[in-house]
Amino acid sequence: MAKNTTTVLDLRQERSNPPFSINDMTEFYDGGSEATKKRKLISSLILNNPAFKWLERHYWTRDEAYSSNVQCLAEVAKILRKHKLNVDDFMHYYWLVSTIGEIVSFEMHLTTWKSALQDQGTPEQRKKWLPLVENFEIVATYCQTELGHGTFIRGFETTATYDPKTREFILNTPTLTATKWWIGEVAKTATHALVMAQLWTQNKCYGPHLFILQVRSLEDHTPLPGITLGEMGDKFGYNSIDDGFMQLSNVRIPRDQMLMRHSKVTLDGSFIPPKNPRLTYVAITLYRCQLLMLCSNYLARASTIAVRYSAIRRQTETKPGYEPKVLDYVTQQNKLFPHIAGAYALACTGHYMIDFGKRATERIKLEDLSVLAEFHGISSGLKAFCTEMSVSGIEECRRACGGHGYSSACGIGHIYNNWLASCTYEGENTVMYLQSAKYLLRCVKNPKSAPLGVSAVLHNPPCKHWDIKNMQDLEKTNTVLEAYRARAYKKVAIADKYLRELQSGGDTSYDAWNKSGIKLVDCAKAFTHYFVIKTFFNMIEKSRLGQSCHLQLHRLSILLALHGIDQNTGDFMLDNFIDFEQIKLIRVKILELFSEIRPVAVCLVDAFDIPDQTLLSVLGRYDGDVYNKLFEWAKEAPLNKTQVRYLLVVVIDCVFVYLA
Amino acid sequence: MAKNTTTVLDLRQERSNPPFSINDMTEFYDGGSEATKKRKLISSLILNNPAFKWLERHYWTRDEAYSSNVQCLAEVAKILRKHKLNVDDFMHYYWLVSTIGEIVSFEMHLTTWKSALQDQGTPEQRKKWLPLVENFEIVATYCQTELGHGTFIRGFETTATYDPKTREFILNTPTLTATKWWIGEVAKTATHALVMAQLWTQNKCYGPHLFILQVRSLEDHTPLPGITLGEMGDKFGYNSIDDGFMQLSNVRIPRDQMLMRHSKVTLDGSFIPPKNPRLTYVAITLYRCQLLMLCSNYLARASTIAVRYSAIRRQTETKPGYEPKVLDYVTQQNKLFPHIAGAYALACTGHYMIDFGKRATERIKLEDLSVLAEFHGISSGLKAFCTEMSVSGIEECRRACGGHGYSSACGIGHIYNNWLASCTYEGENTVMYLQSAKYLLRCVKNPKSAPLGVSAVLHNPPCKHWDIKNMQDLEKTNTVLEAYRARAYKKVAIADKYLRELQSGGDTSYDAWNKSGIKLVDCAKAFTHYFVIKTFFNMIEKSRLGQSCHLQLHRLSILLALHGIDQNTGDFMLDNFIDFEQIKLIRVKILELFSEIRPVAVCLVDAFDIPDQTLLSVLGRYDGDVYNKLFEWAKEAPLNKTQVRYLLVVVIDCVFVYLA
């Protein structure tokens, strides 16, 4: 059997003479040289550790997947101790360098739990509980969602009732639908949980608050009395995680296990409200900014796989004896190049928002809450827009791999299976858009200067007609961006006007809001799209990259922006802002950009710097040796352990199956 | 723990007073009362047979899934014999009533193999081989795709070289990339294969032809000499099927195992070409029409699940103490109602095309090939458009289930995992669109009357402006359809003009075709979209339904058409065909339709008549008892067999994991 080695040459050819420094590009993608250094350090600690044997996962049962995850948790604990790493830093890069679906079992422990405690715990609570978590003396999780209640937190049914006689809270899940559900690691792993429950004291309900609850014995790991724990069954992805349920029946905890930094319950049961109820949003808002980095990371992985494989896969003879690489087809470039650009854009948005979040947190600590509403409003829209952009891009990359894209050897399906959850978890996306729209409409009414730039969009009417006359004009980021601003401005105005008309026409505020739903989602999408494009342009502009890298990124950013217009022409044509001639120009420009990006496409995805060990893709291998390795991969399949498995035998009028 | 029974009442309320006959609607969906009767018969034979224990599949290993499938194959053989059923009929309904992902192991055997033999086999070959297949004395499969070659058939590397001395063909897969790959059931199950190979005789290659090859012993099921068989590893879905690979090394078969109805090789090795090489397309074209029914069926399942669950799930207090059903939210209606309509539209398209295919086959048998090019051109576009419409609708339904949509208990993920394959198998969709575009452009050049109505679209210029002045006008199917026709007309003209300009500008025909790729795909999409809407309108019109059913279907068809315009406004605004006021009218009309469809939404999905046993969804249960059954489902999860699985123990500076 002749071996196929031309694929290796194919990729070598693509990399033969990159017109820019791939290393510089990697540092830009990572958010600076320091970030690249840290990422590589964490990467080496993880990938050289035999516990992280993700390559074997393809044929794991649920139990094997879960077991591997527990081993990884223990290894992470060891690594953190041995190398005395900062936990937040570690987790940030651990997410980026590890494999999706196998990473989450300590997300609750090391991030959600920790940040909730830091945010909402008193100094005493932080002092007591944070070291226990950081030293892995307990395993912690976070219990919010209920069987019958998700994004609408006020609807939760779990209760925590204060008993002043014993100075305890009594926790209950009084109905079936109150059962805590979708709780990461609660089924088998966690010993402690932060439980969100309706606070009752002095016969009055004060809404959802957080309580620390030990759920399992530290001696033998059995659930404590009154606590029922279980696993919730298979999911579309993340099957190495023991998401579970929890039911509580009159479980008592001491008063000091309610997080009391903001709201307080005194010894006698009096309730002291928080200064600002919005403060509880800070943790989730920061977490949503972290999600943006993952949106980029997983799209980068999918486009790495699809672009490399497309530089190998050949199809359809166009000259006698010559089948072009599929990457040479314009239809393929149209599928893939916007997602290369998208991965860079999402990284820029992520870096910008994480940085903004850090600054916002500092201001919030000083009790300056002026930025909180904007930060929350915009990050809600970003959570929805960027997860959808990432997930749909990942699937388009998978389809661009043709038939082999459906094989697990491709690796994109695994990313998709897991990352798809991001569209419905941490706030369902339609609800996220509506929250964002609510903020935007509030800004229309009350103009004020906001650091993320909302007012600039909403309070200066756009010009009547787009100022694009020729191909050169399409290079100007400000002019291109103005199209997005005009669209956002108009979509917000349309939603606002429609809502007000319904209300003045006599609709209740609920009915008016409901009937405006489609327009509200639309306006949040348009604003967020503007925000992503603007951030991408700005981050390129303010980077100190050399000209050759800058040129590539400029092309990618213009491509992403023009492609976005081309995909939504109807919106941009509103009030004839853009005309047919301009749309034609855009389409010519896009083809020009494709031909400029084509020679560097493989180098652009190489710059994402995702090692084969975590890319987990036969099609996307760095060396391009796809067909030999596909064959080797197939031979490893468990069904190949025996040659003959069944024998179908026909005996006169009946068919028998024999186990061979 | 209080049990939750309100959900059951919620669904009962939705069904309390249907304003149309659900049974009549079911018969319309099935394609007539006769079809409903046949479907119910096959359904009862399958669902009452304990071998089809699909409900248990959630935790199957690959081997268990495969084993179940082999048992099902044997049961199908028995059912066919016992009830003396027509195989084609049986398979048509079997596909529709069974569970996706677990159905395919006899697809090759009973459909692809059979139809290829009927189409391309000589009378002697049909007489010898068809009974062996129908009686299950052999298990047959079809080997086309190769490791390095998919949709581009001429690129195949497998060879069949005629040896006149022994009057045999010698089959070889001479390179690694020639390895037959993605071959359903070849790994473990099949005993015989139809192999597509390049025919060589008298030192000349005559392109791909089909050859019958026995691959395994009928005695002990071991692979025959020179034949290497294996499984190809895990896939995104269809993991109960043993897709596999095959390598051939000098395997000899008698001359009469080449299918010789059209092309022939004489005893001395002379090649006699077929009268019309296009005849080999007939089988695949007919198969693509069958796929349309599945597009409808799987979208119907997903929308059944999402609509029922949305009539149970409640969210966000809108009045004190009242959380509406999520189905009452306009944003939710906007996600789901177009897919209810879509499932009906796809069924109509499927019925129409299958019927057309039958008539076309009759004409082809009489050597009248006049309809073949149109049939092939249009069904290529339909294959791409309808699989994409179905798959994206399925995913939107899943997301509309919120967080629980990600659990396997939802059931939509399973449909998606499997059906996603349809976008890349049986012809990759972009290639399908390009084939369809090629046909459309040929029609522009050579107008001729074609029964599927291509020329009517392409040869009468549309009017300048859409004739819609008020809401009532939007009820007129002809006027609404004209928007789709105008768009298709223009998109074809744009692609045609662009291509000709490039060619006359000096581009080679390959370069011109490649650069026009995006526009070509666009024009095929626009034409196919028109075709689906037209067929939906026509099938409703010509049905003899009572007024109450007709009214519901009319609303659904108008909704689907207007929603399609609203999603693609830029296209319809080309040359100002539709103006902003009309778009506003459309949006008002869509909201009106939502409020009309809302009260009957559950009844409309009930009419798809998918029993719980094959819907396999806790969220989509007919009785609506979702939360109790979700809890029961979770308790069955294998990880719940033990309460304590691992114990993490911290000993001074190290973390240990103990197996409990």
Buried b / exposed e over B63-94, threshold 16 CB at 10 Å, is: eebbbbbbbbbbbbbbbbbeeebebeebbbbb
**Measured distance CA(B211)–CA(B129) in Å, rounded:** 12
User: In the prediction, which pLDDT does B115 show?
Assistant: 85
User: In the prediction, which pLDDT does B538 show?
Assistant: 97
User: In the prediction, which pLDDT does B372 show?
Assistant: 87
> In sequence order, what are the residues at sequence separation of 6 or more whose Cβ sits closer than 8 angstroms to the Cβ of residue B505?
none
**Measured distance CA(B496)–CA(B469) in Å, rounded:** 32
Residue A55: band (very low, low, confident or very high) from pLDDT cuts 50, 70, 90:
low
**Measured distance CA(A112)–CA(A123) in Å, rounded:** 18
**Measured distance CA(B641)–CA(B660) in Å, rounded:** 13
**Measured distance CA(B209)–CA(B261) in Å, rounded:** 11
**Which residue is closest to B647 within chain A, CA to CA?**
A221
Phi and psi dihedrals of A41, rounded to 5?
-65, -50
Instruction: Check B136 against A648: CB less than 8 A apart.
Output: yes
Strands B192-201 and B140-143 come out as parallel
**Measured distance CA(B634)–CA(A176) in Å, rounded:** 13
Beta strand spans in A241-328 (E):
244-248, 251-254, 264-265, 271-272
Residue in B189, B232, B331 closest to A407 by CB:
B232
Residue B501, number of CB atoms within 10 A of its CB:
12
Instruction: Check B570 against A575: CB less than 8 A apart.
Output: no
Angstrom CA distances, B572 to A569, B562, B568, stand at 10, 11, 7
- DSSP-assigned letter for residue A463: P
User: In the prediction, which pLDDT does B3 show?
Assistant: 58
Angstrom CA distances, B97 to A357, B47, B81, B615, stand at 52, 9, 19, 9
- CB contacts of A1 in chain B (<8 Å) are 173, 175-176, 247
Å between B118 CA and nearest CA of chain A: 23
CB A523 within 8 A of CB A497: no
**Measured distance CA(A357)–CA(B299) in Å, rounded:** 41
Residue-wise pLDDT tens digits, A494-509: 999 999 999 999 999 9
**Which residue is closest to A323 within chain B, CA to CA?**
B155
Å between A313 CA and nearest CA of chain B: 7
Q: How many residue pairs from chains A and B have C-beta atoms closer than 8 A?
A: 353
**Which residue is closest to B3 within chain A, CA to CA?**
A176
**Which residue is closest to A419 within chain B, CA to CA?**
B406
Instruction: Check A424 against B403: CB less than 8 A apart.
Output: yes
**Measured distance CA(A24)–CA(A548) in Å, rounded:** 10
Instruction: Check B402 against A424: CB less than 8 A apart.
Output: yes
User: Which is nearest to A404 in space by CA: B234, B175, B240, B239?
Assistant: B234
Residue in A245, A423, A631 closest to B399 by CB:
A423
Instruction: Check B230 against A634: CB less than 8 A apart.
Output: yes
Residue B514: band (very low, low, confident or very high) from pLDDT cuts 50, 70, 90:
very high
CB A169 within 8 A of CB A255: yes
Question: What burial class does residue B351 get, using C-beta atoms within 10 Å of its C-beta: 0-12 exposed, 13-18 middle, 19+ buried?
Answer: buried
DSSP, collapsed to helix, strand or coil, labels residue A657 as: strand
Res B526 pLDDT > 90: yes
Of chain A, the percentage scoring pLDDT greater than 90 comes to: 72
User: In the prediction, which pLDDT does B240 show?
Assistant: 87
Residue-wise pLDDT tens digits, A548-572: 999 999 999 999 999 999 999 999 9
**Measured distance CA(B106)–CA(A294) in Å, rounded:** 41
Residue A474: band (very low, low, confident or very high) from pLDDT cuts 50, 70, 90:
very high
Å between A283 CA and nearest CA of chain B: 20
* Encoded tokens for B384: 């791409």
Higher per-residue confidence, A452 vs B632: B632
Instruction: Check A514 against B242: CB less than 8 A apart.
Output: no
Angstrom CA distances, B540 to B252, B353, B476, B488, stand at 55, 15, 13, 22
Instruction: Check A328 against B514: CB less than 8 A apart.
Output: yes
Strands A251-254 and A168-172 come out as antiparallel
CB A564 within 8 A of CB A487: no
User: In the prediction, which pLDDT does A652 show?
Assistant: 63
Cα Rg of chain B (Å, integer): 27
Task: Find the catalytic residue in A146, A157, A426, A482.
Answer: A426
Cα Rg of chain A (Å, integer): 27
User: In the prediction, which pLDDT does B174 show?
Assistant: 97
Angle at B392 between CA B390 and CA B398, to 5 degrees: 100
Residue in B232, B407, B423 closest to A233 by CB:
B407
User: Which is nearest to B424 in space by CA: A315, A423, A304?
Assistant: A315
Beta strand spans in B150-291 (E):
159-163, 168-172, 180-183, 192-201, 204-214, 227-231, 244-248, 251-254, 264-265, 271-272
- CB contacts of A136 in chain B (<8 Å) are 648, 650, 655
CB B76 within 8 A of CB B106: yes
Task: Find the catalytic residue in B374, B396, B426, B482.
Answer: B426
Å between A653 CA and nearest CA of chain B: 8
State the DSSP string of A432-492. HHHHHHHHHHHHHHS----TT-HHHHHSSPPPSS----STGGGG-HHHHHHHHHHHHHHHH
Instruction: Check A637 against B233: CB less than 8 A apart.
Output: yes
A145 is in an annotated binding site: yes
Res A71 pLDDT > 90: no
- CB contacts of A182 in chain B (<8 Å) are 403
User: Which is nearest to A397 in space by CA: A299, A318, A537?
Assistant: A299
Residues in chain A: 660
What does the H/E/C string look like for A323-378?
CCEHHHCHHHHHHHHHHHHHHHHHHHHHHHHHHHHHHHHHHHHCCCCCCHHHHHHH
Q: Which of B189, B639, B642, B656 to mutate to test the interface with A (most CBs of A within 10 A)?
A: B639
Å between B98 CA and nearest CA of chain A: 21
Å between A329 CA and nearest CA of chain B: 6
Residue B9: band (very low, low, confident or very high) from pLDDT cuts 50, 70, 90:
very high
- CB contacts of B149 in chain A (<8 Å) are 315
CB B468 within 8 A of CB B585: yes
**Measured distance CA(B286)–CA(A582) in Å, rounded:** 43
Angle at A275 between CA A270 and CA A281, to 5 degrees: 110
- CB contacts of A148 in chain B (<8 Å) are 4, 314, 627
Interface ipTM:
0.96
Residue-wise pLDDT tens digits, B271-315: 999 887 777 777 788 889 999 999 999 999 999 999 999 999 998
Instruction: Check A220 against B644: CB less than 8 A apart.
Output: yes
User: In the prediction, which pLDDT does B28 show?
Assistant: 98
How far is CA B642 from its chain centroid?
A: 41
Which residue carries 């300009």 as its tokens?
B501
**Which residue is closest to A434 within chain B, CA to CA?**
B331
B477 is in an annotated binding site: no
| Alpha-carbon torsion (B30, B35, B41, B46), positive or negative | negative
Angstrom CA distances, B437 to B12, B125, B377, B442, B531, stand at 48, 36, 8, 8, 14
- Indicate the average pLDDT of chain B: 92
Helical ranges in A153-215 per DSSP H:
none
Instruction: Check A406 against B236: CB less than 8 A apart.
Output: yes
Res B1 pLDDT > 60: no
- CB contacts of B639 in chain A (<8 Å) are 62-63, 66, 187-188, 231, 242
- CB contacts of B575 in chain A (<8 Å) are 580
Residue in A176, A514, A657 closest to B70 by CB:
A657
User: In the prediction, which pLDDT does B105 show?
Assistant: 62
What does the H/E/C string look like for A12-31?
HHHCCCCCCCHHHHHHHHHC
Residue in A222, A405, A631 closest to B179 by CB:
A631
CB A457 within 8 A of CB A489: yes
Strands A244-248 and A227-231 come out as antiparallel
Candidate ranges A528-532, B89-93, B354-358, B633-637; pick with highest mean pLDDT: A528-532
pTM (predicted TM-score): 0.97
User: In the prediction, which pLDDT does A49 show?
Assistant: 87
Ordered by where they begin, the domains of chain A are 139-274 (2.40.110.10), 281-606 (1.20.140.10)
Whether B323 is a known active-site residue: answer no
**Which residue is closest to B222 within chain A, CA to CA?**
A644
- CB contacts of B71 in chain A (<8 Å) are 657
> In sequence order, what are the residues at sequence separation of 6 or more whose Cβ sits closer than 8 angstroms to the Cβ of residue B359?
none
Residue in B408, B423, B514 closest to A329 by CB:
B514
- CB contacts of B135 in chain A (<8 Å) are 650
Strands B159-163 and B192-201 come out as parallel
User: In the prediction, which pLDDT does A87 show?
Assistant: 86
Å between A430 CA and nearest CA of chain B: 8
Residue A4: band (very low, low, confident or very high) from pLDDT cuts 50, 70, 90:
low
**Measured distance CA(B280)–CA(A448) in Å, rounded:** 69
* Encoded tokens for A411: 């690796």
**Measured distance CA(B571)–CA(B522) in Å, rounded:** 10
**Which residue is closest to B398 within chain A, CA to CA?**
A424
Which neighbouring-strand residues pair with A314? A325
- CB contacts of A151 in chain B (<8 Å) are 315, 402
Residue A657: band (very low, low, confident or very high) from pLDDT cuts 50, 70, 90:
confident
CB B391 within 8 A of CB B422: yes
Residue B104: band (very low, low, confident or very high) from pLDDT cuts 50, 70, 90:
low
Residue-wise pLDDT tens digits, A328-358: 999 999 999 999 999 999 999 999 999 999 9
Which neighbouring-strand residues pair with B656? B649
User: Which is nearest to B1 in space by CA: A245, A65, A302?
Assistant: A245
Angle at A27 between CA A23 and CA A28, to 5 degrees: 115
**Which residue is closest to B321 within chain A, CA to CA?**
A155
User: Which is nearest to B11 in space by CA: B447, B304, B448, B258?
Assistant: B304
Instruction: Check A234 against B637: CB less than 8 A apart.
Output: yes
CB B397 within 8 A of CB B303: yes
**Measured distance CA(A288)–CA(A336) in Å, rounded:** 26
* Encoded tokens for B206: 């005559």
Q: CA dihedral in degrees (B82, B87, B90, B91; nearest 10)?
A: 130
